[in-house]
Amino acid sequence: MIVLLGVLVVIIGFATRRNPLLVVGVAGIATGLLGGLSPQKVIAAFGDGFASSRAVTIFAITLPVIGLLERYGLQEQARRLITRFAGLTTGRFLALYLLLRQVTAALGLQSVFGHAQTVRPLAAPMAEGATERKNGPLTDKAREKVRSFAASADNVGLFFGEDVFLAVGSILLITGFVNTTYHTHLEPLQLALWAIPTAICALVIHGGRLLRLDRQLERELSAPAAKDGGATSTKGAAKKAPKNSARGTTK
C-alpha cells in the first residue's frame, strides 16, 4: 500500500499547482525508494525512461521551419484564407478538422497532423480568423477558448481514430498482453472493428460541441460590449489594431 504514496504526491502536486517537473521528479524518487529500488536504480530509471521516450519530443524538429514561416506571416495568411469561405464558421471548421484528423488516424497516418505541425500554425489561427470575421475582434477569454478547442479537436480525433487502424500500438498491446497472458487468440481486426462504435460517438459528441461553440462565442463576444462598456472591447480592439497576432508570437 505504501507505494501508493507516490500517486498521492502526484495528485496533491497537480491540485496545488506546484511545478509539474518537481512534482513528477519527487513522486518518481519517492515511489522508487518505497518500492524497494536502490538510489542508484532510481537514477538509472530516470536515464532509461528519458532515453526510451525521446519520440514524444521529436516534434521539436518542426519548430525552426514553423517559426520561420510565422515570421513571414503564416498565421496572418491562414486567418485571411479562412475569411474567403463565408460559410465556414469556427465550429464548422473545427468539426471538419476533427473529422479529417479522425479519418487520417484511422488510416494509420497519425503524425500527418499534430499540435506543432498543424494546430499552432494553421488550425488555431484559422479558427480565430473565422470568429473575427463574424463577431469582430476576440477578447482574451474568447481567444483562449478557441485555441483550447482547436487543441481538443486534434486530441479527440487522434485518440478515437487511431484505434480503428490495425497496426497501432494500443491494439498490438491488447493482443500481445491477452494472447500471452491468457493463452487465447485475439485478432487485431476484431478489436479494430469494435473501436468503430466509440469512434462514431466521439465524432458526434465532440463535433456537436464544436458546432455549439459558435453560439457560445457569439454570446460571449456580443455581451461584454453591451454590458460592461468599452473596457473589454476597446482593450481587445487596441490589441487587435496592429494586426491581431502580434500577441500570438511575442507574448
Burial of 95 (0-12, 13-18, 19+ CB in 10 A): buried
Q: Which is nearer to other proteins, 197 or 226 (CB)?
A: 197
CA distance 143 to 148: 9
State the nearest-atom distance from the C-beta of 173 to other proteins, in Å.
6
Q: How far is the CB of 87 from other proteins (least distance, A)?
A: 19
**Are 79 and 126 within 8 A, CB to CB?**
yes
| Nearest approach, Cβ of residue 224 and other proteins (Å) | 17
CB of 105 to other proteins, least distance (A): 11
Question: CB of residue 122 vs other proteins: minimum separation in angstroms?
Answer: 6
Q: Which is nearer to other proteins, 180 or 226 (CB)?
A: 180
Q: Does residue 136 sit in helix, strand or coil? A: coil
Q: Which is nearer to other proteins, 107 or 229 (CB)?
A: 107
Residue among 99 and 116 whose Cβ is closer to other proteins: 116
Query: For residues 54 and 226, which CB has a smaller minimum distance to other proteins in the complex?
Result: 54
Query: Which run of H or of E encompasses 212?
Result: helix 196-226
Nearest-CA neighbor of 107 among 162, 159, 151? 162
What does the DSSP assignment read for 146-162? HHHHHHHHHHHHHHHHH
